[in-house]
């Protein structure tokens, strides 16, 4: 919590808890420039700041500037925050439920009986039929498109 800055130098690991922890404690995060980092910056309003870099020489320069109290370029924070506040878990849950309600509201249960019958026939077919190269019962036309 008392660190002057946290350097997350990985070019391969895209995201991790050190990033969240640093921002939650109001620290300065130095991390590789990526679309994920841009998205985090745009969709949250952390207490800390994010300082991106793209190349190794930029990393050395940014860390040196920060340790000597010089200005550095930071990512703009909260540019995609809705209604002046970041998304909460409640918002995410409500959006997920609305998506699922929309998805299931468009389903038709009219063909369930024929699907159940076809699945039962396939499950009842002895394994030896497959071993002998024989065909399993035909699949009804109404479930071929599922």
pLDDT digits (tens, 9 = 90+) for 110-139: 777 777 877 777 777 655 555 555 555 566
Whether residues 73 and 127 share a domain: the answer is no
pTM score: 0.54
Whether residues 10 and 78 share a domain: the answer is yes
- Is position 50 within any domain? yes
Whether residues 119 and 67 share a domain: the answer is no
Does 65 score more than 70 pLDDT?
yes
Highest mean pLDDT among 4-18, 47-61, 64-78, 91-105: 47-61
Whether residues 76 and 118 share a domain: the answer is no
- As a whole number of Å, the end-to-end CA separation of the chain is 53
- Is position 140 within any domain? yes
Q: Give the lowest-confidence range in 2-11, 38-47, 117-126.
A: 117-126
What residue spans of 54-126 are helical by DSSP H? 56-67, 89-105, 112-124
Rounded to whole angstroms, the Cα distance separating 80 from 145 reads 40
What average pLDDT does the segment 64-68 reach?
Answer: 89
Does 21 score more than 80 pLDDT?
yes
**What is the residue range of 69's domain?**
6-82
Give the burial string for 49-61 (b: 16+ CB within 10 Å, else e).
bbbbbeeeeebee
CA atoms within 13 Å, Cβ hemisphere of 12: 0
54 or 140, which is more confident: 54
Whether residues 30 and 73 share a domain: the answer is yes
Note whether 87 and 43 are within 8 A (CB). yes
pLDDT band at residue 142 using 50, 70 and 90 as cut-offs: low
- Is position 104 within any domain? no
Torsion angle of C-alpha atoms 88, 91, 95, 101, degrees rounded to 10: 130
Residue that is written with structure tokens 């793209």 in the block = 54
- Is position 102 within any domain? no
What's the token pair of residue 31? 């991390």
Nearest to 118 by CA among 95, 145, 99: 145
Whether residues 27 and 77 share a domain: the answer is yes
The 10s digit of each residue's pLDDT in 79-93 is 766 666 666 778 888
Number of domains in the chain: 2
6-8 sheet: strands from edge to edge: 6-8, 28-32, 49-53
What average pLDDT does the segment 57-85 reach?
Answer: 81
């Amino acid at each position: 919590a008392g660190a002057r800055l946290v350097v997350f130098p990985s070019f391969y690991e895209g995201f991790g808890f050190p990033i969240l922890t640093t921002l939650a404690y109001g620290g300065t995060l130095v991390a590789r420039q990526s679309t994920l980092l841009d998205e985090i910056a745009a969709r949250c309003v952390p207490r800390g700041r994010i300082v991106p870099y793209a190349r190794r020489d930029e990393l050395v320069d940014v860390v040196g500037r920060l340790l000597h109290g010089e200005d550095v370029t930071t990512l703009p924070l909260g540019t995609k925050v809705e209604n002046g506040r970041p998304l909460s878990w409640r918002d995410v849950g409500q959006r997920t439920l609305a998506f699922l309600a929309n998805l299931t509201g468009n389903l038709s249960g009219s063909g369930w009986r024929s699907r159940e019958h076809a699945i039962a026939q396939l499950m009842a077919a002895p394994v030896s039929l497959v071993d002998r190269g024989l065909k399993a019962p035909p699949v009804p036309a109404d479930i071929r498109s599922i």
